[in-house]
């Protein structure tokens, strides 16, 4: 009887020991799997940590569309920045053509044109040939960046400043987002407007910058310094939008991007789409860093509301994110 009891206790202890051992093995297996997953994820993302100059990672690129997009780049006497930007973007796989908006009093120099053409041809490769053109303007106006371009070969336009860099994978992702909603603006730099309650009515609006977007999670514009839109809006901006809006932009040297946001929203009846992307600003600070910038932009918003006869901008909280490049989404 006593021997039977001891045997039973021995069996129970062995069973408990086996259960604990099995549990420990399971925990170790889970930990090993987590460590392995982390190492693989870090290795797959390591190339992204080097910045915008890495353009050879095939896994980060979407499939090249048969009909791509044109870049329309605004520039002004910043030739080193122009060279850097053209060198970068000319290697993006979906690019069909580059149009440089030139508003300087003197035409581009032959050495500059020769250098840029060489860079574009070198980056184009054998499978595609990117076209490079200078769109020469006699008048210095911010409206020039939205002049109609008769020989555009694509419907999609990527409007970009010469001092702003996004990775090719981010641009290709934004292009594919735009293809799902080609009547609206798709861009990387969101802004917001809201009603000024202190005025006691709903007819006066305030322009909000990035921190307002960050705080509220809401936006109603994406700036044309980095945005996709349909080429038809060039014609609408130049030929059908109120001339007084363009005159206001020329006189104040500001707010052409807000005017385009008004135009697209008014024509489409849809909000823009903000695409998440890392921005690399390679130039010095611009007019947005000057004192009174937000106040001047607020004046623009209210002036354009009066010109359009209503507030066409539509607030939204939607953000497009490339889930392949993040762990949690």
pLDDT at residue number 52: 39
Q: What is the DSSP letter of 67?
A: S
Structural domain harbouring 239: 69-320
What pTM, to 2 d.p., does this model score?
0.79
Any domain includes 41: no
In a domain, 19, yes or no: no
One digit per residue, pLDDT tens: the chain, 329 residues? 444 444 555 545 545 544 444 445 444 554 555 555 554 444 444 333 333 343 333 323 334 444 899 999 999 999 999 999 999 999 999 999 999 999 999 999 999 999 999 999 999 876 788 999 999 999 999 999 999 998 898 999 999 999 999 999 999 999 999 999 999 999 999 999 999 887 777 789 999 999 999 999 999 999 999 999 999 999 999 999 999 999 999 999 999 999 999 999 999 999 999 999 999 998 765 555 556 789 999 999 999 999 999 999 999 999 999 988 777 65
The DSSP string of 261-279 is HHHHHHHH-S--EEE----
Q: What is the CATH number of the domain that holds 208?
A: 3.90.550.10
The active-site residue out of 161, 162, 163, 257 is 257
pLDDT (0 to 100) of residue 290 = 56
Residue 104 has a pLDDT of: 94
Examine the residue annotation and report whether 196 is marked as an active-site residue of this protein.
no
Domain-embedded: residue 162: yes
Residue 32 lies in a domain: no
Q: What is the largest CA-CA distance in the chain?
A: 111
Residue 15, pLDDT score: 52
Report the pLDDT value the prediction gives residue 45, as an integer from 0 to 100.
42
Nearest CA to 222 out of 256, 246, 188, 245 is that of: 188
In a domain, 4, yes or no: no
274 touches 319 (CB < 8 A): yes
Tell me if 214 is assigned to some domain. Answer: yes
Q: What is the pLDDT at residue 202?
A: 75
Residue 308: φ, ψ to 5°: -80, -15
Run of H or E residues at 160: strand 156-161
Residue-level pLDDT at 11:
45
Residue 97 lies in a domain: yes
- The number of folded domains in the chain is 1
Ramachandran assignment for 309, one of left (phi > 0), alpha (psi -120 to 50 degrees), beta (any other) = left
Q: Is residue 177 part of a domain?
A: yes
């Amino acid at each position: 009887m006593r021997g039977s009891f001891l045997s039973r206790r021995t069996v129970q202890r062995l069973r408990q020991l086996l259960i604990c051992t099995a549990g420990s093995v399971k925990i170790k297996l889970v930990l090993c799997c987590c460590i392995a997953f982390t190492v693989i994820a870090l290795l797959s993302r390591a190339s992204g940590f080097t910045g915008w100059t890495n353009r050879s990672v095939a896994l980060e690129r979407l499939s090249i569309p048969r009909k791509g997009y044109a870049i329309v780049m605004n520039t002004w006497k910043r030739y080193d920045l122009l060279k850097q930007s053209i060198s970068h973007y000319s290697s993006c796989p979906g690019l069909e053509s580059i149009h440089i908006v030139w508003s300087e009093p003197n035409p581009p120099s032959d050495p500059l044109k020769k250098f840029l053409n060489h860079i574009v041809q070198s980056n184009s490769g054998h499978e595609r040939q990117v076209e490079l053109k200078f769109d020469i303007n006699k008048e210095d106006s911010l409206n020039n960046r939205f002049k109609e371009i008769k020989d555009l070969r694509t419907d999609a336009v990527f409007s970009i400043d010469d001092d702003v860099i996004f990775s090719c994978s981010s641009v290709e992702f934004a292009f594919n987002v735009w293809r799902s909603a080609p009547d609206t603006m798709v861009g990387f730099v969101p802004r917001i407007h809201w009603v000024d309650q202190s005025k006691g009515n709903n007819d006066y609006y305030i322009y909000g910058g990035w921190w307002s977007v960050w705080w509220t999670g809401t936006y109603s514009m994406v700036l044309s310094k980095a945005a996709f839109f349909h080429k038809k809006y060039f014609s609408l901006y130049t030929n059908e939008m109120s001339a007084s809006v363009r005159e206001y932009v020329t006189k104040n040297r500001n707010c052409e991007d807000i005017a385009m946001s008004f135009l697209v929203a008014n024509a489409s009846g849809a909000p823009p789409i903000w695409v998440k992307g890392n921005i690399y600003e390679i130039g010095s600070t611009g007019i947005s860093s000057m004192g009174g910038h937000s106040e001047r932009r607020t004046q623009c918003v209210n002036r354009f509301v009066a010109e359009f006869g209503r507030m066409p901008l539509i607030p939204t909280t939607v953000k497009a994110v490339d889930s392949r490049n993040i762990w949690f989404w």
